[in-house]
Structure 1
Amino acid sequence: MAQRDPASRQDSHAFPIKQMIVLGLCRICEPIAFMSIFPYIYYMIESFHITTDGKQIALYAGLVTSAFAFAECLAGPFWGRLSDKYGRKPILLTGIAGTGISMLVFGFSRNLPMALIGRALGGILNGNIGVLQTTVAEVVTVEAHQARAYAIMPFVWCLGSIVGSAIGGALADPVRNYPGTFKHGTIFESFPYVLANLVCATFVMFSLTVGILFLRETHEDKKERRDIGCEIGDWILSCCCKTSGRQSMSRKEEHTEETL
């Protein structure tokens, strides 16, 4: 009976730090998107000129804020079933892309219905909460590592919430807040809240790119399926490693020549 190589046995019991980092980067875009509207949503609803009653504005702000979570709650089981059928990776990437589309629609909203649709769209297209938990369980198979692994995602959510709130507060209505940089008559005057959403969408695009290139499929029946994205990611990493190795060798040679 063939014995397993000790190095490979040690590898299988090591904490999968690389894949957890990738999952964390895929996860962080959702709290950024969810929390970024909180600092300015009241003023955004006020700018729609639906009502001047502060209580009504607060009510509409609450509806818009909760639309994302409500839609995600309804769509979650559907995306969970799809992830069982087609694999975790495509569903996670679809959820990230849906978040990006939602941010763009919301940023360019001129009225309450469009803002509600933009937020709800992000929830409908994103079932990543449940799928991510399943993916973490499939990535971290060693019981001793599971507590640490499951603690990472709440940390990522908190970090994303901080970043998202900061972006929303700093970049809302830039023409009024930064008149020296953002001029009247530009797109940022027509759409005062689009800048914050564009910056958040950039984070989403980064997460999507990382997911395409480096996220491994964890579904037992789909693991062996060819993944062109990961092949490209591996090629990029190998090129970077070769370049880094050449630079390191060059520095060693220079140091040797100086010593001689």
Structure 2
Amino acid sequence: MGGDNQNKEPLLKNRYYKNCPGCDVDRAKQLNQASPFKHLLNIWMLTMCTTLPISCIFPFIYFMVRDFGIAETEADIGSYAGYVGSAFMVGRGLTSVIWGIVADRYGRKYTILFGTISLIVFNTLFGLCTSFWMAVTTRFLLGGLNGSLGIIMAYSTEILPEEHQAKGLATYSSAWGIALVIGPALGGYLAQPVEKYPHIFLKGSFFDKFPYFLPCFVISAFALAVLVACIWLPETLHKHNVSDESNKDAEALENEIKEKTVQKDENLLLNWPLMSSIIVYGVFSLRDITYAEVFSLWAVSPLELGGLNFTTDDIGDVLSISGLALLLYQIFLYPPLEKACGTINLARIAAASIIPLLQSYPFIAMLSGFTLHLVITIASAIMLCIPAIIDTCLFLLQNRAVEQHQRGAANGITMTTMSLFKAGGPALGGMVLSWSQKRLNASFLPGTHLVFFILNLVQALGVLMMFKPFLAERKEQ
């Protein structure tokens, strides 16, 4: 495979088709006409836009489900909240491969445009939900009709020169991580505005009837701005016309046809460097989403149930500071650390370091006042930075394991696997948290000790899978 790439490289560098957007991008990269900053900004905005609806519900979903009146006891609220969170991932898991195939056939840009439009519609509708089943249905459609996230990952490697690809994927993963912070911050600050800002939002107003609409509306408005910006988004997919191919010399055309035939016969499911990195990513995704769900529910739970008794504003404060820490880390600390340790080794070290931190959370709950807020903020910042390291490493391995004509489908498989793992995360986290709060006096792993121990089991499995012989890299000859 590596030898084929070397034989094909001169053709890709020196021969371009007219009216082919992919060739225009390749030519700009070769001539250093592409602006890395501009493309990194596009990647950042697209990833933020797509990720914000996933995480904005975490601070208020507990109260939203409580207002639905479907839970019989307070301890059951976590379980129903988990079902709402899982609906999004189930929808995305069922359709990600399809969207990847569509992007490989019709282009990255139009798939992203459609996904952004569906995000605007269904994220806005979610803020208007008045029943549990309406919320579940809206979140399912929001996940199923927006296949942009995997496409953006492929786009990140295609729009930038090879020397900037790691930077593009780091931008993708850091934007993902920061959106997982800004989203809950928006949800925490803007949910129930009548109660928090009575001098601005009046009792009996629209926002009193729909107390969780404002954060959804703000995110949808941002998505609308991103949609307009997408009009000028460069397409990276190669679209060669038959008339253009006739201009080639016969030998070059014959060789390229043979190469494309070999490429089309490649079964992605048998590509172990691709599949091993996807499986590892799925395991860490399960831990990430379960932690995000558990953290928010645990933080707002009463003290007598082992929680922190935080308000949505408190969660917003913690996660906002954590997001700023991630941004500073990605700019100043990640590049020298990655250079010193290497991408894979840094990811392994980071993944292992989470284990003792997670198990300390029940003890952090014993603190109070300023000390509690300081320690939990530091822990939250670390828990945000480390997944960004792991994701950047795995994204790089995945996108280097396939050629462009299969990259959309490959990232669709990645999103499907991640979504399937994450679909069970919120429900699992909610049920385990509810169960743990009913066994506060157990002799083994009482209360929330059980929740974080189970999270650590998943984390430890992911760490073991990051080593050979499981995790494989594509070999270049």
Please classify the TM superposition score into its range, dividing by the shorter chain length. 0.7 to 0.9
AA at the equivalent of 1:206: A
3-state DSSP class of the match of 2:119? helix
Q: Deviations over 1:116-142 (max 9, x none)?
A: 1111111011112221122122212x3
Contact kept? 2:95, 2:145, Cα under 8 Å: yes
Q: Secondary structure at the match of 1:12?
A: coil
Are the aligned partners of 2:49 and 2:222 in contact in 1 as well (CA < 8 Å)? yes
Partners of 1:105 and 1:114 within 8 A in 2: no
1:199-222 C-alpha deviation (Å, 9 max, x unpaired) = 11111111111112x211111117
Q: What residue identity is the alignment partner of 2:129?
A: S
SS in 1 for 2:178: helix
1:1-260 equivalences under 5 Å are: 11-12=31-32, 16-140=36-160, 142-212=161-231, 214-221=232-239
Structure 1 stretches of at least 4 aligned residues deviating more than 6 Å after TM superposition = none
Aligned-residue RMSD, C-alpha: 2.3
Residues 9 and 169 of structure 1: is their aligned pair in 2 closer, same or farther, counting only changes over 3 Å? Answer: closer
3-state SS of 2:199 partner: coil
TM-score (norm 2): 0.43
For the 8 Å contact 1:64–1:116, the answer to whether it is kept is yes
Give the TM-score taking structure 1 as reference length. 0.77
- Conserved 8 A contact 1:175-1:189: yes
Equivalent AA in structure 2 for residue 118 of structure 1:
T
Contact 1:25 1:210 in 2 (8 A): no
SS of equivalent to 1:175: helix
Deviation at 1:13, TM superposition (A): 7.3
Shift of 1:55: 2.9
AA matched with 1:123? G
Distance 1:219 1:150 in 2: 18
Q: Which runs of 5+ in 2 are unaligned?
A: 1-13, 15-27, 242-477
Q: 2: distance between equivalents of 1:188 and 1:115?
A: 17
Asked whether the equivalents of residues 171 and 195 of structure 1 are also in contact (C-alpha less than 8 Å), the reply is: yes
Q: How many residues align?
A: 217
Q: State the Cα distance separating 1:192 from its structure 2 match.
A: 0.8
Distance 1:145 1:156 in 2: 16
Aligned partner letter, 1:148: K
CA distance in 2, matches of 1:13, 1:198: 38
Structure 2 Cα separation of the partners of residues 70 and 87 of structure 1: 25
* Paired AA for residue 117 in structure 2: A
| Identity %, equivalent residues | 34
* Conserved 8 A contact 1:70-1:123: yes
| Gap regions ≥5 residues in structure 1 | 224-260
Secondary structure in 1 matching 2:211: coil
Report Cα offsets for 1:146-170 as digits up to 9, x if no partner: 2112111001112222221111000
